[in-house]
Structure 1
Amino acid sequence: MSRSGADLALLLLGGFRSLVDDATDELAQRGYQDVRPVHDFAIRAIAAGADDATRLGQRLSVSKQAAAKTIAVLQERGYVTRDADPLDGRRKRLQVTDLGFEVLRQGEEIFDELRDQWVRRIGRAELERLEKHLATLVGGSAVRLDTPGWMTRDLGGSS
């Protein structure tokens, strides 16, 4: 049976969604009921140097206001802090807390477990072949932190 290009895109999105939904559910089972996929992207971006709302918004391709809302949630839940910048006392820098790094670690562990489930379903060789083909098709740096903004971007050019 031949599929369309749209079918392929939906299958790939479905695979992503399945893994993310299962990981979110498992994180909740482990006591992190308040973690959402966008929080992972934001925490990773902050850990990589997006240390204020402007930079975080740029990294996630969302507005500064959307980034500020995400920051407020992450602070409230103890995943990030806003500390004085040692070089500029007027500026506050975002930093990931130990709890934030623990959530990332737990998430990575869960994704490894989910990958193992896929190995049991289709076999190691098939999954490795799929991963190899996907790497060939999407390139070596397929992971982008701007996914939250990309998924909701306005293609018409307005903000």
Structure 2
Amino acid sequence: MVEPTPGYELPLQLFAAFRAIIDAAHADLARHGHPDVKPMHGFVFQAIGTSGTTAVELGKRLGISKQAAGKTIAGLEQQGYVERAADPGDARRKLVRLTAKGVDMLAVSARSFDAIQARWAQTIGPERLAALQADLRTLAPGEVFRLDIPGWFGADR
């Protein structure tokens, strides 16, 4: 029988596992031409989506202010990951869209996460990994892909 650990260790272990995945993915991103991408940027790119979004909507999706979204957009624009363009449906609005470099970063990160998952399956076995994923879906019901994590981690909470 496995000895139970103190309850406070569980969130720390889950976070350590999350951190290990993110650190490994970002090391891979750096090796594949994206050394300047930060962990929050993945949430930003997903929130922008394939058809783009406005700074206001991006802030809402991420749970951050319009000003914080604007600052993030400006930094990513300077690095060549996003661009601003007129909204074809409303000339008064500016859309933020991923550039080819931004789309490439998403493709590299998807391959990285697949490789990390495969390594975890090798380490603990594919059945145990599948069971872990099923258990996590049970324990964390609801929307799996939450984009508001940057705002949730913010100091103003």
SS in 1 for 2:120: helix
C-alpha distance in 2 between matches for 1:39 and 1:76:
14
**Counterpart in the other structure of 1:66:** 68
**Counterpart in the other structure of 2:154:** 152
Unaligned 5+ runs, structure 1? none
Match of 1:11 among 6, 10, 13: 13
C-alpha distance in 2 between matches for 1:140 and 1:49:
25
**Residue 34 in structure 1 maps to residue 36 in structure 2:** yes
* TM-score normalised per structure 1: 0.90
1:146, distance to aligned residue in structure 2 (A): 0.7
C-alpha distance in 1 between matches for 2:130 and 2:90:
48
Q: How does 1:6-155 map to 2 (within 5 A)?
A: 6-47=8-49, 51-139=53-141, 141-155=143-157
* Counterpart residue type for residue 35 of structure 2: Q
* Counterpart residue type for residue 25 of structure 2: A
**1:42-73: per-residue Cα shift (whole Å, max 9, x none)?**
11101166612211111111111111111011
SS in 2 for 1:135: helix
**1:98-129: per-residue Cα shift (whole Å, max 9, x none)?**
22111111101000101111111111111111
1:140, distance to aligned residue in structure 2 (A): 5.2
* Counterpart residue type for residue 114 of structure 2: D
CA RMSD of aligned residues (A): 1.5
SS in 2 for 1:91: strand
How many pairs align?
155
1:91, distance to aligned residue in structure 2 (A): 1.9
* Counterpart residue type for residue 130 of structure 2: E
1:154, distance to aligned residue in structure 2 (A): 2.7
1:153, distance to aligned residue in structure 2 (A): 4.5
Q: Is the 8 A contact 1:50 1:59 kept in 2?
A: no
C-alpha distance in 1 between matches for 2:44 and 2:97:
11
C-alpha distance in 1 between matches for 2:71 and 2:12:
30
* TM-score normalised per structure 2: 0.91
C-alpha distance in 1 between matches for 2:145 and 2:7:
21
